[in-house]
Amino acid sequence: MKVNDIFNEQLVERKQNMIDNLKKITILAGGVLFLAVAFFIPGLRGLIYIIAIGIIFGMIVLLRRFNVEYEYIFTNGELDIDQITNKSKRKRVLSIHVDDFAIMVPVSNKDYGKDVEKYSKLYDVSSGILQDNTYAAIFDKDSKKVKLIFEPNEKMFNAIRAYIPRKIKK
CATH class of 7-15+67-163: mainly beta
* pLDDT given at position 124: 92
Distances (CA, A) of 12 to 41, 58, 67, 68, 169: 46, 27, 12, 9, 22
The CA distance from 160 to 128, in Å, is 21
The neighbouring-strand residues paired with 8 are: 74
Report the DSSP pairing between strands 101-106 and 78-85: unpaired
* pLDDT given at position 153: 93
* pLDDT given at position 1: 47
Query: Rounded to the nearest 5 degrees, what angle is found at the Cα of 32, between the Cα atoms of 26 and 33?
Result: 85
Domain boundaries, the chain: 7-15+67-163, 18-64
Give the chain as a 3 state SS string: CCCCCCEEEEEEECCCCHHHHHHHHHHHHHHHHHHHHHHHCHHHHHHHHHHHHHHHHHHHHHHHCCCEEEEEEEECCEEEEEEEECCCEEEEEEEEEHHHEEEEEECCCHHHHHHHCCCCEEEECCCCCCCCCCEEEEEEECCEEEEEEECCCHHHHHHHHHHCCCCECC
* pLDDT given at position 7: 87
* pLDDT given at position 111: 74
* Cα Rg, the chain, nearest whole Å: 21
What residue ranges of the chain have pLDDT lower than 70? 1-4, 113
